[in-house]
Amino acid sequence: MDLNNDPVDHIDEKDLGEHIHALVRRLYPICRSITGDGLRKTLRIINSYAALEIREVPSGSRAYDWQIPREWNVRDAYIRDSLGNRVVDFKKNNLHLMGYSVPVNKKAKREELLGHLHTMPEHPDWIPYRYSYYKDDWGFCLSDNALKALNEPEYDVYIDSTLENGHLSYGEAYFPGTSSDEILFSAHACHPSLCNDNLSGLAIAAYLARTIGSKKHRYSYRFLFLPTTIGPLAWLSRNEDKLSRIKHGLVLACLGDAGISTYQESRIGNADTDRAMVVALRDSGTPFNVRPFTPYGYDQRQYCSPGFNLPVGCIMRSPNGCYPEYHTSADNLDFVQPAPLADSFSKILATINVLENDYKYLNLRPKGEPQLGRRGLFDKAAELGLMWILNYSDGHHSLLDIAEISGHRFTFLKEGADALVETGLIKQIS
Amino acid sequence: MDLNNDPVDHIDEKDLGEHIHALVRRLYPICRSITGDGLRKTLRIINSYAALEIREVPSGSRAYDWQIPREWNVRDAYIRDSLGNRVVDFKKNNLHLMGYSVPVNKKAKREELLGHLHTMPEHPDWIPYRYSYYKDDWGFCLSDNALKALNEPEYDVYIDSTLENGHLSYGEAYFPGTSSDEILFSAHACHPSLCNDNLSGLAIAAYLARTIGSKKHRYSYRFLFLPTTIGPLAWLSRNEDKLSRIKHGLVLACLGDAGISTYQESRIGNADTDRAMVVALRDSGTPFNVRPFTPYGYDQRQYCSPGFNLPVGCIMRSPNGCYPEYHTSADNLDFVQPAPLADSFSKILATINVLENDYKYLNLRPKGEPQLGRRGLFDKAAELGLMWILNYSDGHHSLLDIAEISGHRFTFLKEGADALVETGLIKQIS
Amino acid sequence: MDLNNDPVDHIDEKDLGEHIHALVRRLYPICRSITGDGLRKTLRIINSYAALEIREVPSGSRAYDWQIPREWNVRDAYIRDSLGNRVVDFKKNNLHLMGYSVPVNKKAKREELLGHLHTMPEHPDWIPYRYSYYKDDWGFCLSDNALKALNEPEYDVYIDSTLENGHLSYGEAYFPGTSSDEILFSAHACHPSLCNDNLSGLAIAAYLARTIGSKKHRYSYRFLFLPTTIGPLAWLSRNEDKLSRIKHGLVLACLGDAGISTYQESRIGNADTDRAMVVALRDSGTPFNVRPFTPYGYDQRQYCSPGFNLPVGCIMRSPNGCYPEYHTSADNLDFVQPAPLADSFSKILATINVLENDYKYLNLRPKGEPQLGRRGLFDKAAELGLMWILNYSDGHHSLLDIAEISGHRFTFLKEGADALVETGLIKQIS
């Protein structure tokens, strides 16, 4: 498989960012949470890009130390003033309602109401994102400017939500390869109208799944679209028999903002997954950050818990908590752009390409240099790093090792290795 | 044991530096050397702070490649001019007499006398510190300005010293803990009126012994107050059966000057001792230096000789030879101050605290994160590094490891580990 | 052996650079190539400095993946204009003729001729160096200014060369030591009138061989003077039984220019060879570069191929390709100078000195420090690093290890070790 070419069938590569952004736009208005119909609707849309199994886990089921919560759905929610104006309205922006708010229908004194309102004084026009998944509560989020206008002594508070036994939904796509060894991609699908975190990750995962599904490949691929924390725990607890197959994994999040790429290594650190991602980023020729594992952040927290310790890293652009728009209404359709979405997609695909093509070769003429001239390879020797491949194809070093040692681009080395295999100077051994 | 609180019974922590400085002042006038009554008197004073065994090793005894020297005592020593004025007088400052000077009572021509006088022309007001332990000689040390005033053709030279078979004295305090594993503290007690080197180390060791002696602790603690080089050799040669119990050790010297803390690692390097000290220094939030082992310096030279190779580091502020006042009369009661003495004390106590509390824990819910919220730990998770503790309590990493990996303060991690043990999420395994 | 003193019999050290430069001057006019009489003449001259075996390998013989080429010799070669002037003349500078040019004797139209001419427009006065060893072709090299003057429509082209079965010649000198373990020196002898690359390497190798041949030494030494690539391959393929004896090796090239010393490590990296060279460079007190192995450059490419992986580094000043004069007529007798030639020689000799004297010692008084004072060593302790030697002579560390750990000059440590052996405090164990 050479995934660097023709990444997505029927889509011109230069239009890819626009296509991914279109999917972000389509998903943006939906009110998602860790359960509920918004999450289901999101999965059904993604299913139209890459065939998913949509799984439903009943409320109350165990997932290790956790229990699947009740399912939350909302029809309407608002704060209304004495003139009947909806001064805060869930229908205008689903961020206005704190996630998992319990039903409410009452008059509330201004003072009581203030205890349930969340704003960001440092960004007075932005609405913050808040939730209370595991503690019964209710609340509204609004701009600090809107808060300042709430001067009446009493307001109608109305939340038409349900918190009932139901299901946690997640989507799963599996593409078998020639090997049962797996590469896992995981994207959290529970955030409401927030684009970078994580419609960017969902949309890129959808297009990756569509690409992988249309190709032959060595590895088997698994894509998970699930609510954060409880989603991976539900999946892990039901799939322990498959975990030993996971050789590499990436959590996809915050992939559409203008920042440079940031890779957080797996807990293992320097796993082949980590090294492949770093080589792909290096080969891109653009700046990037690499940072070590921490047990904070996205769902790598579960995959990299000590009971699993899977080789799962996390690829982002600006990391969670490191940009002011994070978890606010400013993480909107302008904040993510086609160009960085396409760039993130291509770097992940380049990483897949490294992993798919990372073989060890054996130099069959290991004593001295072979004579490249009479094989017509002399002119390609420098660019394709042929001398590096020949010298380090000693049974110990893989192409990824050679990419690291030599500084040569992985794709050039692959081309070089193919040429050397063709002449019989090296052979693939694993 | 939580040694961070109430380090010394009945002494308010903010007064501790003053107390330590008071002990330095009490010891300052005494004429110490590697043997003799000044050394004995010093040990007796320390004994009033922390109960010591005072040991006496006879002159002529073997200590590996060395022999315990004759005991040196001085009653009086001076240089007197023709008018009967004592122009250099041991009774004014014991630094005036070169250590281990043999008895002299004669008239000396100025030229002969000059061959026995030591000054520091680059600091013309200071008296240097000199000794000749293992070669019979005599000498006086004086300021270069005083030397310039010695214009008479002849002087009376009088040294009323004795060099006779006697004993080498040292003090030893041992505080058994629940384990026979030991932490060793060693401070050299042989320097005369020099405050930083090493009344600072002696006084801090005395207060440490007093603190340890009043607490329960896991480790057993041994404090040695002894003359440099020959003292540790004497102790080592008589206690080889105990050496395997020494798991950590610190040589204490130069701990009262205004410089930042300097830690010299043990010969092993990266021993737990070294790592604990560095984490304690890091956690202090103030600048510090760490430097690798060298076979020069204080008594770590003996503890870290290849035949022992004990995990013994050396904690100082400005290291020996790195400040101009070193081994001169300017290393006086002004040069050491209560604040740095208290600061050094607290950093050593913090190191003890790390070692006492450095356990391994096992995460009992290792698959995914446990749900901290329903255990009331969610709010403490960040500050106390709970996710780090849970993630790395995998049977391999101790709390010190986690402090290094996470960058979290050790004391916070200990508090976090206690909270997690209490909830049953982790258990201590070693 | 102390090679630091009296490096070359009967030559004053301060004159050594002049002597080496004189040999460069003597070899400069000869037309060398990878075979032929110029190479043979060069070897015979070197033989007058250090006795060589001159080996002849027949054309057509195998050397692993290669075949010894036909032997090339030239009597004359020129381009002549219509007035009979030799406008390009091999007899004026052997760089004018492309190496291994086939015989030609014809009139050539200007356009045809241009296809066979090589110049360096960026240095219009310099003649480039070109060759075509393994592809039948002909060509002339000239200054770009000379090219611009070639305005006639037709020229006589005459190359009186022969390409016939014959031999590849190389020189070998072997100096047995008390051990059969070998140190290999290899210098390529195939370049025509180019001084830095590589008459500098040849001349220094000749003087090294002369020096080694006149001394007793622990290691056995082998010097190879041979054409690049095919030369080492020929030697390796005929001497596989000897390869296991090669414990260290250096390729010598580009050693006479004004740049600082550059050492390229062996493929093994951090081999004792590499460490000894780096310590010798460090001890020189002058700036230097160290760079890791790459499979490009000089004949280390063959010695360090994966089938051999010998501990062979490459010592240069300005590396190949990193100075504008490289492979041009500007690499002439002015470009290499006596002072850098002597400096390179002395650094290689210092490296040999490290390897010859790198023993492990065992401290026979390992418990504490021995008393140096009564052995008269106290005053030498600091400069000769005696404490370092005593502390690290634990059966694991060699003198080279101690030089690295302590930062002390190797020669001082050797002197210190000798003094300690003499007093019986340490003994040599390997």
Summarize pLDDT for C80-123 with one digit per residue, the tens: 999 999 999 999 999 999 999 999 999 999 999 999 999 999 99
Confidence class for position C12, pLDDT limits 50, 70, 90? confident
pLDDT at B11 over 90: no
Architecture of the domain defined by B72-164: 3-Layer(bba) Sandwich (3.50)
Q: Which of A367, A374, A388 sits opposite C236 (nearest CB)?
A: A367
- Is B358-428 a CATH 1.10.10.10 domain? yes
pLDDT for residue B76: 98
- Residues A91 and A76: their CA atoms lie apart, in Å, by 7
pLDDT band at residue C10 using 50, 70 and 90 as cut-offs: low
pLDDT above 80 for C377? yes
Residues ≥6 apart with Cβ < 8 Å to A172: A52, A53, A55, A222, A223, A224, A225, A235
Please name the amino acid found at residue C340: P
Place C330 in a pLDDT band, splitting at 50, 70 and 90: very high
pLDDT at position A403: 98
pLDDT of residue A318: 98
pLDDT at C131 over 60: yes
For position C211, what pLDDT does the model report? 96
Q: How many CB pairs under 8 A join A and C?
A: 60
Cα C215 to chain center, whole Å?
Answer: 21
Residue B112 is predicted with a pLDDT of 97
- The CATH number corresponding to C74-164 among 1.10.8.620, 3.30.110.30, 3.50.30.90, 3.20.20.70 equals 3.50.30.90
For residue C358, the distance in angstroms to the closest alpha carbon of chain B comes to: 20
Taking only the tens place, the pLDDT of each residue in B276-303 is 999 999 999 999 999 999 999 999 999 9
Would the CB atoms of B63 and C371 count as touching at under 8 Å? Answer: no
> Is pLDDT at C50 greater than 70 in this prediction?
yes
**Six token digits for residue C156:** 């006589």
Query: C99-111: per-residue pLDDT in tens?
Result: 999 999 999 999 9
pLDDT tens-digit profile of B172-196?
Answer: 999 999 999 999 999 999 999 999 9
- Reported in sequence order, the residue ranges of A102-231 that DSSP labels E, i.e. its strands, are 104-109, 117-118, 140-141, 154-164, 167-175, 182-188, 220-226
Residue B4 is predicted with a pLDDT of: 43
| pLDDT at C319 (0 to 100) | 97
* % of chain B residues with pLDDT over 90: 95
Percent with pLDDT over 70 in chain C: 98
CA distance B430 to B398: 9
d(CA C18, CA C21): 5
Does C361 reach chain B within 8 Å, measured CB to CB?
A: no
User: Which residues of chain A make contact with B377, given a CB cutoff of 8 A?
Assistant: none
Give residue C4's pLDDT. 43
Which pLDDT does position C381 carry in this prediction?
87
Q: Are B134 and C371 in contact (CB under 8 A)?
A: yes
The pLDDT of residue B46 is 98
- Residue B222 DSSP SS3: strand
What's the pLDDT score for residue C3?
Answer: 42
How does DSSP assign B61-114, residue by residue? -EETTEEPPPEEEEEEEEEE-TTS-EEEETTT-GGGBPBTBPPEEEEEEHHHHH
pLDDT at position C224 over 50 = yes
% of chain A surpassing 70 pLDDT: 98
Half-sphere exposure of B10 (CA within 13 A, CB side): 4
Q: Is the pLDDT at A6 greater than 50, yes or no?
A: no
Span A27-40, average pLDDT: 98
Mean pLDDT of A375-400: 94
Which tokens hold the place of A48? 């139209």
Give me the pLDDT at residue C225, please: 98
Rounded to two decimals, what is the model's pTM?
A: 0.93
d(CA A251, CA A249): 7
Average pLDDT of the segment spanning B387-406: 98
Residues of chain A contacting residue C309, judged by C-beta atoms under 8 Å apart: 394
* A-chain residue closest to B375, CA distance: A65
Instruction: For strands B154-164 and B104-109, give the pairing.
Output: antiparallel
Least confident range from A183-197, B8-22, B415-429, C341-355: namely B8-22
Cα separation, A273 vs A300, whole angstroms:
13
Comparing CA positions, the residue from C427, C408, C407, C409 lying closest to residue C417 is: C427
Distances (CA, A) of B22 to B18, B335, C319, C399, C427: 6, 14, 66, 48, 50
pLDDT at A2: 47
Three-state SS at C334: coil
A388, A404 Cβ separation under 8 angstroms = no
Q: Which fold has domain C360-428?
A: Arc Repressor Mutant, subunit A (1.10.10)
For the record, the structure tokens of A45 come out as: 């849309």
Q: Which architecture, in CATH terms, is A77-164?
A: 3-Layer(bba) Sandwich (3.50)
**B13-68+167-356: what fold?**
Aminopeptidase (3.40.630)
Whether B64 and chain C come into contact, CB under 8 Å, resolves to: yes
Instruction: Find chain A residues with C-beta within 8 A of C310's C-beta.
Output: none
- Identify the residue among A62, A64, A65, A236 best suited for mutation to test binding to B, counting B beta carbons within 10 A and taking the highest: A65
- Of residues B246 and C378, more confidently modeled: B246
* Mean pLDDT score across all residues of chain A: 96
Nearest chain A CA: its distance from B364 CA (Å): 9
Q: CA of B396: which chain A residue's CA is closest?
A: A306
What's the mean per-residue pLDDT of chain B?
A: 96
Using one digit for the tens of pLDDT, what is the confidence trace for A174-225?
999 999 999 999 999 999 999 999 999 999 999 999 999 999 999 999 999 9
Cβ contact, residue pair C367, B308, below 8 Å? yes
Interface check B229 vs C, CB under 8 A: yes
Verify whether the Cβ–Cβ distance A65 to B392 is below 8 Å.
no
d(CA C396, CA C366): 13
Q: Report whether pLDDT(C5) > 80.
A: no
Q: Do C371 and B134 touch (CB under 8 A)?
A: yes
Domain ranges of chain B: 13-68+167-356, 72-164, 358-428
Residue B112: how many CB atoms within 10 A of its CB?
Answer: 13
